Structure 1
Amino acid sequence: MRLLYPCDPFNSKLPDEEYREEFDAAIASGLACSLFSLEDFQGGEFKPRPKFDEAEVVAYRGWMLDIDDYSRLSAAMIDAGAKPLVNAVEYQRCHHLPGWYQVCVEWTPETVFVDQDINFTIELAKLNWPAYFVKDYVKSLTTSRGSIAKNAEEVTELVALIKQYRGKIEGGICIRRFESLQPDTEERYFVLRGTPYGRDGTVPDLVRRIAAAVDSPFFSVDTVLSADGHLRLIELGDGQVSDRKLWPAENFARMLAQSGI
């Protein structure tokens, strides 16, 4: 099993600064690691260093990729003689909210999926929720404006801002029913080959149930406490492109090593 990290754009022998601590921890844990130039890959060239062993399983750990780019990376791994830990279908399943919503609907806010160009006044009249959380299939707005809307005009404003700051709408628009949540209670877990892991070694029952429900070899689970104290699922993500958040690099590398990755 091998981990594939993006290299520093100016020094192909070093991992990208964002992943350097994790790369070093992975090496210290005895994990095989390779580097590649993300810029060269986007230009049509893929040269992992060291090269992959024949039929070796490879997990990408790097910057978020859209579905087309990940499909190309997965194909490039195969062409280089490896087997991606996560195939393109599995990547989309956890990277796009509609891919996991139905199997997790009982644990997460009610959501509808719409095209960015619909009439939001008509759509919101069908829902009549007190407030709405707006994002595209992958991410919400991370500026100080936040992602909460109270009416169609504010939803339209948020969609325009997502497009402005992210450059595009990925997939479509998710309109989620607003729920009151306790601040500073968000926690990230990882599920690797069906086994859930927490940064401090503990895993709540909800995360175990999600791990059993979602068909993907490596994904992240974000939970938060509701205002009335119930644990809620806020987001799933592909584990390869999910940052560690509060996970120490050593704990993350230990999880990968213990799982046999």
Structure 2
Amino acid sequence: MILLVPADVLHPRRPDEHFAAEAEAARAAGLEVALIDHDAAAGPGGAEQAVRAVRTGGPAWYRGWMLRSEQYAALDAALRRRGVTLRTGPEQYRRAHELPGWYSALAALTPRTVWTAGDDYAEFDRARAELGSGPAVLRDYTKSMKHYWAEAAYIPELDDAEASRRVARRFRELRGEDMTGGFVLRRFERFVSAEVRTWWVDGRCAMIGPHPDTPDDLPAVEVDVAALGGPIADLGLPFVTADFALRDDGTRRLIELGDGQVSDRPASIPPEILIAALSGGLPDGSPHTGAGGSS
């Protein structure tokens, strides 16, 4: 098994500092570690340059910065030409990374959602009408602008066309060339807990810990991994994260599913636990639970 991590921009023979601990844990566990040039992978036609330092073949996990689905597919193709097969294929990555890929399978667990194909504002109005009256949260297929909550994320009333479009325009401006897919409107639900991040490898929950945005908050949401194992396993995705929070009526709700390769690991989950999960080294039984910590 190979672990692929981004190289440090200034010291390309070293792992990026953010992933250095995982690379060290992988080597200690007997895995090969290979470096890729993330900037090249994220640029036009740069996949071959991105993998030029990869000199070993076999199955691999990627742990690194987010890539667009088409960039990941190009990286996958370049690696295959070097004898490296990513455990998560391009279509699997897209299904986990982009909301439309997983929403229908998990719709009962998450706020009602509609989306557009592209950033046409007439289509935005169509989606707004389809979701119906009331508050909503705006994002695209991969990301929200929740740190600009009032101006680019929260829509108090979808029936207010002018105010809704104002939020959409600001969101589009802030996302710029990183805008992915189209506008996504999610029914607003009020949550009363910090998010908990769960990590699933081949349909099994391997780890539970705080969300990286709130790394010091202990997981306060009781996640029924037995009940969730079926729906998440049915997705057929090798490595995903699922973030949950408690709604104000006490119901556990799915906030987000993501590809685990590009999901941030809070410091409360030791890198050795993550590497053990990816290499099949965790014992059967309950998932590892992170105890909170600093980022």
- Aligned AA (1:171): G
Measured on the aligned residues, the alpha-carbon RMSD in Å equals: 2.3
Shift of 1:15: 0.7
**Structure 1 counterpart SS, 2:12:** strand
Query: Structure 1, unaligned stretches of length 5 or more?
Result: none
- Aligned AA (1:204): D
Shift of 1:95: 0.8
In the alignment, does 2:82 pair up with 1:80?
A: yes
Report the equivalent of 2:206.
197
The equivalent position to 1:173 in structure 2, one of 162, 174, 183, is 183
**Contact 2:114-2:127 at 8 Å conserved across structures:** no
Name which of structure 1's ranges 151-160 and 58-67 shifts more when overlaid on structure 2. Answer: 151-160
Q: What is the rounded CA distance, in whole Å, between the counterparts of 1:108 and 1:193 in structure 2? A: 21
Shift of 1:124: 2.8
Which aligned pairs between 1:37-186 and structure 2 lie closer than 5 A? Answer: 37-41=37-41, 42=43, 43=46, 44-47=48-51, 49=53, 51-53=55-57, 56-115=58-117, 116-119=119-122, 120-121=124-125, 123-145=127-149, 147-150=153-156, 151=158, 152-168=161-177, 169-184=179-194, 186=195
Report the CA distance shift for 1:207/1:110 in structure 2 as closer, same or farther (over 3 A): same
Higher relative contact order (CA 8 A, sep 6+): 1
Report the CA distance shift for 1:7/1:230 in structure 2 as closer, same or farther (over 3 A): same
Report the equivalent of 2:4.
4
Q: What is the rounded CA distance, in whole Å, between the counterparts of 2:54 and 2:125 in structure 1? A: 54
Q: What is the rounded CA distance, in whole Å, between the counterparts of 1:50 and 1:12 in structure 2? A: 12
Name which of structure 1's ranges 150-159 and 91-100 shifts more when overlaid on structure 2. Answer: 150-159
**Contact 1:37-1:46 at 8 Å conserved across structures:** yes
Shift of 1:242: 1.1
Q: What is the rounded CA distance, in whole Å, between the counterparts of 1:190 and 1:136 in structure 2? A: 23
TM-score w.r.t. length of structure 1: 0.88
Q: What is the rounded CA distance, in whole Å, between the counterparts of 2:51 and 2:120 in structure 1? A: 40
Report the equivalent of 2:215.
none
In the alignment, does 2:33 pair up with 1:33?
A: yes
Report the equivalent of 1:188.
197
Name which of structure 1's ranges 170-179 and 13-22 shifts more when overlaid on structure 2. Answer: 13-22
**Contact 2:6-2:64 at 8 Å conserved across structures:** yes
- Aligned AA (1:141): M
**Structure 2 counterpart SS, 1:143:** helix
Q: What is the rounded CA distance, in whole Å, between the counterparts of 1:51 and 1:198 in structure 2? A: 31
Shift of 1:204: 2.1
**Contact 1:199-1:248 at 8 Å conserved across structures:** no
TM-score w.r.t. length of structure 2: 0.79
**Contact 2:202-2:233 at 8 Å conserved across structures:** no
Tell me how many residue pairs correspond in the alignment: 257
Report the CA distance shift for 1:158/1:259 in structure 2 as closer, same or farther (over 3 A): farther
Report the CA distance shift for 1:78/1:171 in structure 2 as closer, same or farther (over 3 A): same
TM-superposition CA deviations, 1:157-204 (whole Å, max 9, x none): 3333333333232011111111111132x111111122222236x962
Report the equivalent of 2:279.
257
Q: % of aligned pairs identical? A: 33
**Contact 1:134-1:155 at 8 Å conserved across structures:** no
